[in-house]
Structure 1
Amino acid sequence: MPVISAPHAFNEGHLFVDLEPVLGCRLHLKCEGFNFAGSVKLKAANEMVEAAERDGLLTEDSIVVESSSGNLGVALSVIAASKGYRFLCVTDSRCNLSTRLLMEALGSEVHVVADLDANGGFLGRRIDYVRALCASDDRYVWLSQYTNAGNWRAHYRTTGPEIAGHFPRLDVLFIGAGTTGTLMGCARYFRQWHRPVRIVAVDSVGSVSFGGEPGRRMIPGLGMSMRPPLLDESYVDDVVRVEEVDTIRTCHRLARRGFLFGGSTGTVVSGATDWLARHDTGDLTAVAIAPDLGERYLDTIYQANWLQDLYGDEIFDPEEVPATSPRGKPVARRRAVGGDRGREH
């Protein structure tokens, strides 16, 4: 076991789960949640902070500021606490309560934006707030995960080679699209590899990252309300868009086999199984990247009242919905659709 003195020095990058016994399709899941930040975002956060230090942008008086829906905010909170920086995370009302409390427990400040932008999301408002802060006080240093090359470079250096080392005959790689840092870093790495790898981006319905109309998105993580500045579609072979209902069903299906993953992972796995059902002839080597674990979603996608309020009773198995379910009362025997019966198309 390693002996470390800083939390960002540990990041398990070589754990894969064979999902064939759970999902019935040949798919390996690269688990990125086993570090002190609990998500893949620790890699990008560490790369961006170290680059800012090398460039002389960060001093002992600096206040790191970043817009985040949650996971990057936690990762930067971990690194800021370790290095002695102040950190302010600008998030929005979709950020899970447990995530906000975690950032605050690590000593960070959290500002929650509640107003929607012109695209029906919060990102524009969050960025406006960050820019106003930086204009008002030169101590603020905005890392800008949306434009920072360190975001994708971290995965070019680590995530891509980690996958290649375990799967030298890789055929297709499924990657969730948020800022597209993970997507672009891995895609660039495999573009230069010794064999062609099909890169499939998985996006949320309602996101405008790859075009289309904006729509309501309640699960934080993947998707954007603007086109990601880092995105270069020439590196992407296919795009799969996933409804939030399917994200939830997949999360619950995995949880029933003991794998508690987060919303971003549920989206990626749902998109991957859908794509494989349409394309796999039984001989593809397929890997999907799981950005996070599920503990931070216990009061949202794993909480019956939250699901009912947003998606109605149709999200539940009909045979398990009680005749009455007063709000605020325990919802006995209720569970989300999915189980082990397979996804419905």
Structure 2
Amino acid sequence: MPVISAPHEFDVSDLFVDLHPIFARHLYLKVEGFNFAGSIKLKAAREIVAQAEAAGVLGPGSTLVESSSGNMGVALSMLAANRGYRFVCVTDSRCNEATRHTMQAFGADVHVITEAHPTEGYLGARIRYVQEMCAADEKVVWLNQYEAPGNWMAHYRTTAPAIATRFPRLDVLVIGAGTTGTLMGCARYFREHRPDVRVVAVDAVGSVTFGGTPGPRHIPGLGTSIRPGLLDESFVDSVVHVDEADTVRICRRLAAHGYHFGGSTGTAVGGALAWLQENCTDRRTTAVTIAPDLGERYLDTLYDDNWVRGTFGDTALAGDEERNEGQAAR
């Protein structure tokens, strides 16, 4: 095991789970939750902060501020604590209680937006609050994960090469889309180095990222109410939208086999299964998707029967062992 002097130096980057025993597909899951921030967002946060420091944007006395549904906020909270910055995370009422408490444990201030913008949703309201903070104090620095190039560069340099090295005969890469940093970094890398690999984006039903109809979303992580500035659809071969009730079913099915992952993982796996079912009659096709975090921050939501029943109805609690894989997306 390594000896580290800063929490962001540790990150398990070479762990994959073979999902064939569960879903009868050659689908592999890259697990990104084993670091001190608990998610893949550590990579982007680390790169964005490093670039801001190198450019002189961040320095002594700076206050970091970011809009986040959760995981980026935790990663920045950890980095800010380690590097001596004050950090304010602007989130909304969908952010899990465990995530808010984790940020506060690192010393962050957490501001919760309770009213969505009439046309741009909670994300629009969060961004407006961040902009007001920046306008009121010149020492406040918005890293802007939705447009910062470090967001995708982190995955171009780390996530994508790790996948390419482990799977030299990869056919399909399936990436969940939130800020689209992971998607764009991996897609750019494979376009340059392995152009034969199909890149499939997975989005949540109700998200407008790929031009979908806006609608309510209850599980933080994937999907947006404003199209991300990082997104370049020319790097994406296909898009799959997954209903959040199916996200719950996939997560619980994984948990029934001993794998406890967060909501974005259920959405990504559901999208991968749906795409494979529709496009690949050859069940030997090899696909990889990503598990951005683990499941402990979702115990009071998608793993809580009462929350699931109240949010999606009893059907979301039904077992899906007999469901066709293609029904994971609509």
Q: TM-score, normalised by structure 1?
A: 0.92
CA distance in 2, matches of 1:266, 1:119: 28
82 and 7 in structure 1: CA distance in 2 versus 1, 3 angstrom threshold: same
Report if aligned partners of 1:37, 1:75 keep a CA contact under 8 Å in 2.
yes
Deviation, structure 1 residue 285: 1.6
1:331 match: none
Matched, 1:229 2:229: yes
CA distance in 1, matches of 2:196, 2:92: 39
SS of residue matched to 1:200: strand
Report if aligned partners of 1:174, 1:268 keep a CA contact under 8 Å in 2.
yes
Deviation, structure 1 residue 24: 1.4
Report if aligned partners of 2:246, 2:316 keep a CA contact under 8 Å in 1.
no
Report if aligned partners of 2:120, 2:226 keep a CA contact under 8 Å in 1.
no
Larger Rg: 1
SS of residue matched to 1:174: strand
1:314 match: 315
| Structure 2 residue identity aligned to 1:285 | T
2:287 match: 286
| Structure 1 residue identity aligned to 2:286 | T
Please say which of residues 19-28 and 87-96 is displaced more in the overlay: 19-28
1:86 match: 86
CA distance in 1, matches of 2:264, 2:153: 21
CA distance in 2, matches of 1:18, 1:203: 23
Matched, 1:47 2:28: no
1:263 match: 263
Report if aligned partners of 1:199, 1:236 keep a CA contact under 8 Å in 2.
yes
Deviation, structure 1 residue 315: 2.1
Deviation, structure 1 residue 213: 1.2
| Structure 1 residue identity aligned to 2:42 | L
SS of residue matched to 2:26: coil
SS of residue matched to 2:147: coil
Q: Report Cα offsets for 1:188-230 as digits up to 9, x if no partner.
A: 0000114511000000000000002100100000000011110
1:301 match: 302
Q: Report Cα offsets for 1:30-89 as digits up to 9, x if no partner.
A: 001110111110000000000010001111100000000000000001111111111000
Taking the TM superposition and a 5 Å limit, the aligned residue runs for 1:205-220 are 205-220=205-220
Deviation, structure 1 residue 283: 2.9
SS of residue matched to 2:193: coil
Gaps of 5+ in 2: none
| Structure 1 residue identity aligned to 2:78 | V
| Structure 1 residue identity aligned to 2:143 | L
Deviation, structure 1 residue 25: 1.2
| Structure 2 residue identity aligned to 1:149 | P
Deviation, structure 1 residue 22: 1.2
| Structure 2 residue identity aligned to 1:133 | M
148 and 38 in structure 1: CA distance in 2 versus 1, 3 angstrom threshold: same
Taking the TM superposition and a 5 Å limit, the aligned residue runs for 1:1-345 are 1-119=1-119, 121-280=121-280, 281-317=282-318, 337-338=319-320, 340-343=321-324, 345=327
CA distance in 2, matches of 1:252, 1:132: 40
Report if aligned partners of 2:248, 2:266 keep a CA contact under 8 Å in 1.
yes
| Structure 2 residue identity aligned to 1:100 | R
SS of residue matched to 1:240: strand
Divergent runs of 4+, >3 A: 340-344
SS of residue matched to 1:122: helix
| Structure 2 residue identity aligned to 1:310 | T
Please say which of residues 20-29 and 233-242 is displaced more in the overlay: 20-29
Deviation, structure 1 residue 342: 3.9
Q: Aligned residues, how many?
A: 325
CA distance in 1, matches of 2:121, 2:24: 36
CA distance in 2, matches of 1:133, 1:289: 34
Report if aligned partners of 1:119, 1:214 keep a CA contact under 8 Å in 2.
no
CA distance in 2, matches of 1:85, 1:60: 8
SS of residue matched to 1:173: strand
Percent sequence identity is 61
Coordinate RMSD, CA, aligned: 1.1
Q: TM-score, normalised by structure 2?
A: 0.96
CA distance in 2, matches of 1:225, 1:251: 23
CA distance in 1, matches of 2:256, 2:212: 34
4 and 308 in structure 1: CA distance in 2 versus 1, 3 angstrom threshold: same
CA distance in 2, matches of 1:223, 1:119: 15
CA distance in 2, matches of 1:168, 1:24: 21
CA distance in 2, matches of 1:13, 1:211: 32
Gaps of 5+ in 1: 318-336
CA distance in 2, matches of 1:22, 1:79: 36
